[in-house]
DNA sequence: CTCATTGCAAATGGTTTGCATTGGG
DNA sequence: CCCAATGCAAACCATTTGCAATGAG
């Protein structure tokens, strides 16, 4: 218990996301507005392809460009599933890690001060200057284990 | 200190790698022999493209197929660099994590019983059944920080 | 003789880019 | 008016696949 926070934290609103882009010097165009608005409905991790399908009015390249801007701004995270395919999620926290369900690919977010502390400790034993880390926990989520799957 | 082992452990020899493939029911063909032999000279993490360039006598598809067999057999690991590009390394240990130098992309290996213990503890606080994890530590390795780089 | 393995080239998935066009500030 | 931003299609990178040819047991 404690030390692990996996409760959903408040997510930035579309307006806030747009403001973040403006802070980085990018214009709040209609296309960018459309992309960040759509993000509001994305809860579990999505692909860029999904975005482009729902945003027929925005060119694929623009969607990718906007996703990249948001990635650079730190408001989106790219998560690599166990099989290597990429998904994106809207970040709720500054620094965090991801959980990925190996059955349904749902991506979650958690942070643990214990992990951070341990990593700092470990750092002392690893040659070089540590500048960051990444961690994913693979699991079978509750709704997947609740579902008795007769076909597996 | 202690608890973190980052010293190079003995690596499987080409003959051992080939034997592992045979154990999995795959024939020790000349192409596979060539691939595993080349692995012996690979210390810091390599791309499949590098392998194909040095193995002009082996078809690209065969190199990829062999890499996949070795990946499945657990003797190769795929590591995703900070920028998303994939590299491969020959695994020295059963379960371990990777360090990646953000300057030179050199991939290292380490394991830490502390990390494993902490992850088990955290598991109790995360909903679902944990089936695995992945972790990368990004750093600036010693030779990169030793090198004063006038061009950065 | 047969089936695993190979090589080629084409297809794939995810993403980026060149370039001419558009549209806010 | 100008430059940031866009859309399109082509390029790109890592990887996979279909299929006919090969080759080892």
Rounded to two decimals, the pTM is 0.85
- How many CB atoms lie under 10 A from the CB of residue A67? 19
- Which residue in A2, A121, A126 is closest to B110 by CB distance? A126
Distance CA B27, CA B134 (A): 31
- Indicate yes or no: strand D within 7 A of the C-beta of A97: no
User: In terms of Cα–Cα distance, which of A135, A55, A51, A76 is closest to B80?
Assistant: A135
- Mean per-residue pLDDT pooled into runs of 10, chain B (152 residues): 60 93 95 96 93 95 97 93 91 90 92 91 92 94 73 37
Q: Which residues contact B138 (CB under 8 A, 6 or more apart)?
A: A130, A131, A132, A133, A134, B82, B99, B100, B101, B102
Q: What pLDDT is recorded for position B8?
A: 58
Q: Supply the pLDDT for residue B83.
A: 84
A94 contact to strand D (CB, 7 A limit) = no
How much is the pLDDT for B127? 93
A94 vs A30, higher pLDDT = A30
Which helix (H) or strand (E) segment is A88 a member of?
Answer: strand A86-90
Q: Provide the pLDDT for residue B11.
A: 83
How close does chain A come to B105, measured CA to CA in Å? 13
- Pairing mode, if any, of strands B129-140 and A129-140? antiparallel
Q: Please report the sign of the dihedral spanned by the C-alpha atoms of residue B89, residue B91, residue B95, residue B97.
A: negative
Task: For residues A109 and A37, give the distance between their C-alpha atoms in angstroms, rounded to a whole number.
Answer: 21
With a 7 Å cutoff on the CB, does A57 touch strand D?
yes
Nucleotides of C under 7 A from a protein CB: 4-9, 13-18, 24-25
Classify domain A14-150 at the CATH topology level. Answer: Arc Repressor Mutant, subunit A (1.10.10)
Greatest Cα pair distance in chain B: 52
Q: Is there a contact between A111 and A8 (Cβ–Cβ < 8 Å)? A: no
Residue A130 contacts B, CB cutoff 8 Å: yes
Query: Rounded to an integer, what distance in angstroms lies between the CA atom of residue B73 and that of residue A31?
Result: 46
* CB nearest to B129's CB, from A1, A127, A145: A145
Return the residue in A128, A129, A138 with the most chain B beta carbons within 10 A, the one to mutate for interface testing: A128
User: In chain A, where are the structural domains located?
Assistant: 14-150
Nearest of A14, A20, A56 to residue A36 by alpha carbon: A14
Q: Note the pLDDT of residue B139.
A: 94
Give one DSSP letter per residue of B43-95, joined into a string.
Answer: -S-B-HHHHHHH-TTS-HHHHHHHHHHHHHTTSEEEEE-TTS-EEEEE--SSS
Q: What is the per-residue DSSP string for B10-38?
A: PPPPHHHHHHHHHHTT----HHHHHHHHH
Average pLDDT over residues A3-20: 80
| pLDDT band at residue A51 under the 50/70/90 scheme | very high
Interval A106-145: pLDDT, tens:
999 998 999 999 999 999 899 999 999 999 999 999 989 8
- What's residue B1's pLDDT? 47
Note whether B126 contacts A119, CB cutoff 8 Å: no
């Amino acid at each position: 218990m404690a030390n692990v926070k996996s409760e959903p934290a408040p997510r930035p609103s579309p307006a806030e996301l747009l403001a973040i882009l403006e802070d980085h010097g990018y214009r709040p165009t209609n296309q960018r507005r459309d992309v960040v608005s759509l993000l509001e409905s994305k809860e579990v991790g999505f692909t860029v392809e999904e975005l482009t399908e729902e945003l027929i009015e925005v060119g694929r390249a623009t969607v990718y460009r906007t996703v990249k801007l948001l990635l650079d701004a730190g408001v989106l995270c790219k998560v690599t599933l166990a099989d290597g395919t990429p998904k994106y999620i809207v970040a709720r926290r500054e620094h965090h890690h991801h959980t990925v369900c190996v059955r349904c690919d749902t991506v979650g977010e958690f942070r643990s001060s214990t992990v951070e502390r341990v990593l700092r400790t470990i750092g002392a034993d690893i040659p070089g200057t540590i500048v960051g880390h990444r961690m994913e926990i693979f699991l079978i989520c509750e709704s997947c284990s609740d579902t008795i799957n007769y076909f597996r």
